[in-house]
């Protein structure tokens, strides 16, 4: 085959690797690099959108937790307010039960025992709502007691102490709903 003309031998010579117009190897690489930059920009944008959505979801979750806590706090407050209103309405009934027991002293023992049991049950029910009686013994405390009378005393050690409780006072959940009405000793030196 030596010396044969390639056109007549049926073989075609290997084409020279001439770059196609506008598609040189260097330009293909630049095009790929450009496309890679575009993809990186899209990736960065998607990543930023993801981070933004994640932060928004986190804020929404925190808002929901705060909302749920606020609703529970409101429910608890509403229950306390309802209990306070009910207890305030029932305190006069409790006072009247106490007065009834005092009036029945020396009466039929079974009647006295029955009313005493009702009073204890009533007090127990109120205590289950958070009611606590204010101690009216010792020193006068204007946060817990209401002075409705003064009794003179010659003993300086008794000055400002409670002499008599006229009406019981009560706390509900640590809050004074009715102060104890008391008489307080006042020192009148050297009398």
Taking the model in full, what pTM does it have?
0.59
Cα separations in angstroms, 136 against 12, 36, 94, 157, 158: 122, 85, 17, 17, 14
Cα(122)–Cα(161) distance, rounded to whole angstroms?
Answer: 30
**Mean pLDDT computed over every residue of the chain:** 86
SS3 label, residue 84: helix
Average pLDDT over residues 138-159: 94
Encoding tokens for residue 17? 């690797």
Check pLDDT > 70 for residue 3: no
Cα(78)–Cα(173) distance, rounded to whole angstroms?
Answer: 13
Name the β-bridge partners of 151.
185
Name the β-bridge partners of 165.
182
Check pLDDT > 60 for residue 191: no
Q: How confident is the model at residue 60 (pLDDT cuts 50, 70, 90)?
A: very high
Query: Which letter does DSSP use for residue 1 in this model?
Result: -
- Per-residue pLDDT tens for 106-125? 788 888 889 999 999 999 99
Cα(137)–Cα(99) distance, rounded to whole angstroms?
Answer: 20
**Cβ contact 169:141 at 8 Å:** no
- Crossing angle for the helix pair 25-103 and 109-128, to the nearest 10 degrees: 160
Check pLDDT > 70 for residue 14: no
Cα(67)–Cα(71) distance, rounded to whole angstroms?
Answer: 6
Which of the pair, 164 or 81, is modelled with greater confidence? 164
Cα(101)–Cα(106) distance, rounded to whole angstroms?
Answer: 10
Average pLDDT over residues 37-62: 95
- The alpha-helical segments, DSSP class H, found in 104-131 are 109-128
Q: How far is CA 78 from the centre of its chain?
A: 13
């Amino acid at each position: 085959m030596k010396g044969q003309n390639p056109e007549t031998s049926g073989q075609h010579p290997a084409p020279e690797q001439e770059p196609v117009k506008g598609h040189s190897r260097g330009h293909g690489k630049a095009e790929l690099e450009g496309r890679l930059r575009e993809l990186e920009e899209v990736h960065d944008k998607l990543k930023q959108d993801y981070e933004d959505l994640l932060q928004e979801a986190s804020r929404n979750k925190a808002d929901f937790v705060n909302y749920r806590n606020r609703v529970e706090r409101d429910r608890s407050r509403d229950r306390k307010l309802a209990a306070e209103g009910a207890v305030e309405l029932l305190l006069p009934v409790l006072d009247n039960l106490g007065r009834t027991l005092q009036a029945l002293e020396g009466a039929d023992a079974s009647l006295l025992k029955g009313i005493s049991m009702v009073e204890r049950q009533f007090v127990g029910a109120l205590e289950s709502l958070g009611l606590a009686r204010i101690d009216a013994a010792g020193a006068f405390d204007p946060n817990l007691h209401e002075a409705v009378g003064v009794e003179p005393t010659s003993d300086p050690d008794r000055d400002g102490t409670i002499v008599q409780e006229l009406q019981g006072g009560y706390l509900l959940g640590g809050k004074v709903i009715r102060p104890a009405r008391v008489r307080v000793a006042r020192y009148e030196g050297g009398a």
